[in-house]
Amino acid sequence: MGAVRRFDPQEALRPALRSIPAYAALEDLDAVARQYGVDPATVVKVDGNENPYGPSPKALEALRGDYQPHRYGDAGQRRLRAAISRYLDVPAESVVCGSGSDEIIDLLFRLFIGEGDRIVTASPTFGMYAFDAALHGGEVVDVPLLEGWAFDFEGLEAAARESKAVFIPSPNNPTGNTVPVALVERLLGTGALVVLDEAYIEFSHTLSLARRAATEPGLVVLRTLSKWGGLAGLRFGYGVMHPQVADLLMRTKQPYNINAAAEAAALASFEDTAILDERARTLATERERISAALAGLGWLHPYPSEAVFVLLRLGREGQRIEGKAVRDSLRKRGIFPRFFDTPRLRDHIRISIGTPEQNDRVIAAFREIGEEQARG
């Protein structure tokens, strides 16, 4: 008999995971409310880019209906792929559904990014790409956004030539600007896989590249029902891609990755697009209204946004205000915004767009904080 050896989880970890990457997930609302002594029921939650109107009426009805939670769903996602095919006018074989678009991102990494492979991002941007890269041992080549959050065409193109994939949201999170089609065209000529994340496209004037993705092996378009569809907690997203790429994802995903409730609510949402589109238009109008009102306070500088949030730079000319302090002042007033503790965003705050009443509360809270600052 050999000597007794004990399993050592740290020792056994894959080398890429010896230091596990941290993802700065949303904080729990109840816990933060308790910490700041506010009633959770009155909180205006503007940190997660969720839809303040919630699911569509038909989705709510479906969730109360008989969607059979005791059965496994369809591993082939036939009904869902057919519904999305009708909605976007793309072939069903070019659609793959995931438990959030996060899962599609993870599947792309599993398929294409191994130890030492490079991916390109343009920071500041959505944190999942770098997180998944770390999990899979990939290396992130970041080509930071330029002044005014403009994309660095030359830098991105050069980096893409040396990389497996490029991940960019359009509109970008957290800056709110969209990716010029000319940039996508240039990136498609580099040989890298271009993943265009359209999580917020329904709030923008930009045309989706989903149909292009269905015929172009180098392009994947990501979409989600977390924002437009108001289903963030149910987890439903999807990708549109060339059928050959879709087939690879379908063969490597977990068979029952879409839960029964999410399937029912997603199918109903695609039957209720008129109301979801109308809510998206209201939120876009509110985005312009809240941006103008906050800009009018003098110390807040909203960047033009095409998404369901606005990034604000804080401080008057020559003055620097810490985002963290403003976040805390807002939290005390029951407003929960998003703060990013990174060098370029430390004097910024991101707020999601709420209902008109919620936005009025956000504006009032910022006004109060401004007056408090002026009193010193």
Q: Which residues bind ligand PMP (CB under 6 A)?
A: 49, 100-102, 126, 169, 173, 197, 199, 224, 226, 232, 237
Closest approach of Cβ 311 to ligand PMP, in Å? 12
Name the residue nearer to ligand PMP (CB basis): 80 or 321: 80
Q: CA 239 from chain center: how many Å? A: 13
Name the residue nearer to ligand PMP (CB basis): 196 or 245: 196
Closest approach of Cβ 54 to ligand PMP, in Å? 15
Q: What angle do CA 57, 202, 278 make, to 5 degrees?
A: 45
Name the residue nearer to ligand PMP (CB basis): 353 or 365: 353
Closest approach of Cβ 374 to ligand PMP, in Å? 34
Name the residue nearer to ligand PMP (CB basis): 26 or 363: 26
Pairing, β 237-240 against β 193-197:
unpaired
Contact 193, 108 (CB under 8 A): yes
Closest approach of Cβ 306 to ligand PMP, in Å? 12
Q: CA 333 from chain center: how many Å? A: 26
Nearest residue to ligand PMP, scored by beta-carbon proximity: 100
Tell which residue, 344, 294, 303, 308, has the closest CA to residue 323: 344
Which token pair is 233? 């907690």
Q: CB under 8 Å to 275, separation ≥6 — which residues? A: 56, 57
Name the residue nearer to ligand PMP (CB basis): 232 or 326: 232
Closest approach of Cβ 315 to ligand PMP, in Å? 26
Q: How far apart are CA 210 and CA 223, in angstroms?
A: 9
Q: CA 185 from chain center: how many Å? A: 23
Question: How far, CA to CA in Å, does 31 sit from each of 42, 200, 224, 341, 365?
Answer: 14, 28, 27, 20, 21
Closest approach of Cβ 143 to ligand PMP, in Å? 17
Beta bridge partners of 348: 313
Name the residue nearer to ligand PMP (CB basis): 52 or 100: 100
Which token pair is 115? 């130890």
